[in-house]
Amino acid sequence: MLKIVNLSKFYGKLLVLRNINLELDDGIYCFFGPNGSGKTTLLKIISGFEKPSSGRIFFNGKDITKMKPEKIVKIGISIAFQLPRVFWNLSVEQNIFLACMDKEKVYSIAELFKLKKELQNIPRKLSQGKLKLLQVSMAYARNPRLLLLDEPFAGLDVESVEQLLDILRNLKQHKSMIITSHRPKLLRGIAKKFFELKGGVIAGSKENPP
Amino acid sequence: MLAKVLPVILLFFIPPFLGNYVLFLSLIAINLGILTLSWQLMEKDSGWISFGQSIPFGISAYILAINPYLTFLAPVNFLIFLFLSVFGKSLFPFATFITSIATWQASNYLTINGKGGEEGFSVALQLPSEKIYLASATIFIVFLILLEVLSKSKIGLKIKAVRDNEIAAKSIGLDPIKYRMFAFFISSVIASISGILHAITFSHVSPSVFSPFYALFPFVASTISYGKYYTCIFGSFLVVFLTHALTAIFPEAHYILYSVVLMFFAVMKYAKDS
């Protein structure tokens, strides 16, 4: 499904990712590691929001390295950012509608992400947890083959984390995902492989969280 | 929708009964109301405050005066806005306003066959005020309905999405440039038509069409009428009539009015942001 070949990324002289080689088939994968290890940059590169300094990315055999993010979404890769990137002056309903462009689907997605009561609210009125759910629901609403979730648990209280984990367990059967997290243990039983990123390189991979 | 448009239609019925002078001022107000509608599409839905709406307005008026057969090309000047929108803010602040002032100065040197310059050009097409009034009022109502419908349509929603967050828009597959181009094009068409009606109203075009009075007019009219499509005509009438009333006392009085509105806007924005 996703193949990354010799991928490196520099910001000026700062090396963020070095020679990443990966081949992922369907399923859920977790990337963990300390701050600055390159997790977010990797997701931004896969989704087209950053361009690599060198290397190639293939999705279902197609080279997507130089594609614009809005094109990458259309071929089946969606991203939910760590910091909420939503439409602040539009209602939750309009936010989800814009992602799927299907009125009926909006309600089923809102149901799945426990946002039904919030449909008429604007994002500013949502709690941190609900805002995160909205962000993930918008990425999901594109019906992607691969969903990228950047630190989905960051800044959430225990209840919101549980809510999001419930949703991820539901999605596990029919959605491939790459999830970055500081807390890989949360994804035990959900992710099928855990990759450790350290200093911009993949330091190792495990079947179970460390 | 009808409740919003009805007061506007009623307003347009009054001036023809109040004599030629009021009719003429009302005609100016309606034409500038159309310009304000075009500005509001940029500001309200596209989230881009422009102080250079006089550019498409003035260029179209000039094209009509110089060669009426080329008037259909006038809306192409939306490319100026697109360029300024994509690069302007990073190149220099108040990009559109500075561009409109530069155009104002440059138009003083535009001469064709010995005509033009500071004097400007005459418009060959001449119509009685009553006919232009009817045409302007109808065009205003058509654009008002069109913009209300556009604002609530799927495309309108996408334009607002781009306004709210470009990265979020890209992440759900929207191309910001495409939707911004669309909004700017519609806005330029409306501003161009406003400029053409303005030129026909005066039968003459001079460099003053690019002046700060026209550049800032939509901003002032929109601000004092609460920034809604269907209320902007009331702001436009107020500014035009007040300007003409004050001119008798103090020729440049409208700039005092503009300054007060600008300060009010700045204070409100500060209060909102903080």
**pLDDT tens sequence across A35-56:** 888 999 999 999 999 999 999 9
Which of these ranges, A113-117, A147-151, B18-22, B132-136, has the smallest mean pLDDT?
B18-22
Is the pLDDT confidence value at A62 over 80? yes
Is the pLDDT confidence value at A208 over 90? no
Q: What is the pLDDT of residues B210-232, one digit of tens each?
A: 888 888 889 888 888 887 888 89
Is the pLDDT confidence value at A29 over 90? yes
Structure tokens at B231: 């209320």
Structure tokens at A129: 């947890």
Q: What is the pLDDT of residues B144-171, one digit of tens each?
A: 999 999 999 999 999 999 999 999 999 9
pLDDT for B88: 62
Is the pLDDT confidence value at B90 over 70? no
Interface ipTM: 0.91
A73 in reach of chain B (CB within 8 A): yes
Beta carbons of A87 and B161 less than 8 Å apart: yes
- % helix, strand, coil for chain B, step of 5: 80, 5, 20
Q: How many angstroms separate the CA atoms of A189 and B51, rounded?
A: 57
- State the smallest CA–CA distance between residue B162 and chain A in angstroms: 8
Helices B212-224 and B232-247, packing angle to 10 deg: 130
Instruction: Work out the pLDDT band at B92, boundaries 50, 70, 90.
Output: low
Sheet hosting strand A2-11, strand order edge to edge = A14-24, A2-11, A54-59, A62-63
Domain boundaries, chain B: 2-273
**Chain A residues touching residue B164 (CB < 8 angstroms):** 86-90
A136 in reach of chain B (CB within 8 A): no
pLDDT for B273: 67
For an interface test with B, the pick among A98, A100, A106, A146 (most B C-beta atoms closer than 10 Å) comes out as: A98
Q: How many angstroms separate the CA atoms of A65 and A2, rounded?
A: 12
Is the pLDDT confidence value at A148 over 90? yes
What is the CATH code for A27-54+67-206? 3.40.50.300
Beta carbons of A70 and B164 less than 8 Å apart: no
> Which position has the higher pLDDT, B7 or A171?
A171
Is the pLDDT confidence value at A138 over 90? yes
B90 in reach of chain A (CB within 8 A): no
Which of these ranges, A171-180, B93-102, B177-186, B209-218, has the smallest mean pLDDT?
B93-102
